Amino acid sequence: MGMLDGKVAIVTGAGHGIGRGHALELAKHGAKIVINDLGGSVKGEGVGRDADLTVEIIKARGGEAVANYGDVSDYEASGQMIAQAIDAFGRLDILVNNAGIVRDGSIFNMTPEDFDAVIKVHLRGTWAPCKHAAVHWRNVNKETGEKVNGRIINTVSGAGLTGNFGQTNYAPAKAAIASLTQTLSLELYKMGVTVNAVGPAAATRITGTMPNAPAVIEADEVPEDEWNRMDPSVSSPLVAWLASDEADHVTGQIIRAVAENIILMKGWADGPTINNNSKRWDATKLGQQLATDVFFTRAPGLRY
């Protein structure tokens, strides 16, 4: 008995890399999968049938999968993807939003088109499938009067959580996905849907664009019993667990799975605070107050 037997999942961007790793892991535990992939380049140019290879691997291993070639950031196409899961397998339980592209460059070199393209694929390409899945689950919830036990697992990145030189498009897109995850978790938990995000790290086409990157690994190339810290499926067991019934109490969490470590991320939290005692702040005195009571640095005017 697999921990995901009877479940139906969609994994976006599952033609390669981390998405393929997630799809193989979910299938291993018994889920039937829609393998989405637009099949373009790592910069998001062109289209292809890359989803087919992951479908073939799953079928060869005895699982069930169908391909979807849609662009996740296209609102209509992402709606068709949700509908396809229901048509092909009769239900939807798990949505893993993983598709992504990169167009790195310092802000001096980044074009508005590179900014828009990356924000669109990551943020809109996560929001749109979430929206269609949420509407579907709300309809099921209304029809049955029961909680739907749905799962959304989004994909963030260390770059988005702490910033990264040369990624003023990608990092804010990933930070926004963390915020989307937390906000959606508030909206959907009442009807039994959890929403979490995983931050992976692996040697994929995306990291392959960086200087001195390790050679690209595909998830099916690493034998199951072999540990490789850059294997694209390093974070996939965490995704499978978050997708399972066991994790029905975990929502709104941002969790990184990097090499040997699984790390619960703690985000913005209140720090040192000053209070104005209901009197307007005085800008000429604020620097001194902030220096001594908030930043714990030297007062303004002193040389560092």
Ligand X SMILES: NC(=O)c1ccc[n+]([C@@H]2O[C@H](COP(=O)([O-])OP(=O)(O)OC[C@H]3O[C@@H](n4cnc5c(N)ncnc54)[C@H](O)[C@@H]3O)[C@@H](O)[C@H]2O)c1
Catalytic residue positions, numbered: 157, 170, 174
When the beta carbons of 134 and 171 are compared against ligand X, the nearer one is 171
Tokens at residue 206, please? 């995306």
Any contact of residue 100 with ligand X (CB under 6 A)? Answer: yes
Tokens at residue 213, please? 């990157």
Any contact of residue 16 with ligand X (CB under 6 A)? Answer: yes
Cα–Cα distance measured from residue 233 to residue 245, given in angstroms and rounded to the nearest whole number: 21
Q: Which of 36, 196, 236, 244 binds ligand X (CB under 6 A)?
A: 36
For helices 112-119 and 170-188, give the axis angle rounded to 10 degrees.
30
Helix and strand counts by DSSP (H, E) for the chain: 9, 8
For helices 170-188 and 125-144, give the axis angle rounded to 10 degrees.
10
Q: Which of 9, 10, 11, 18 binds ligand X (CB under 6 A)?
A: 18
Measured in degrees and rounded to the nearest 5, phi and psi for residue 264 equal -80, 120
> What residues contact 203, with CB distance under 8 A and at least 6 apart?
213, 214, 215, 216, 217, 230, 231, 232
Q: How many residues bind ligand X (CB under 6 A)?
A: 35
Candidates 38-46, 137-145, 266-274, 282-290; binding stretch for ligand X (CB under 6 A): 38-46
Q: Which of 50, 93, 104, 231 binds ligand X (CB under 6 A)?
A: 50
3-class DSSP state of 301: coil
Any contact of residue 37 with ligand X (CB under 6 A)? Answer: yes
Q: Which of residues 240-299 bind ligand X (CB under 6 A)?
A: none
Q: Which of 42, 85, 140, 257 binds ligand X (CB under 6 A)?
A: 42
Name the residue whose CB lies closest to ligand X: 17
Contact residues: ligand X, CB under 6 A: 12-13, 15-19, 36-40, 42, 44, 50, 71-73, 98-101, 121, 125, 155, 157, 199-202, 204-207, 232
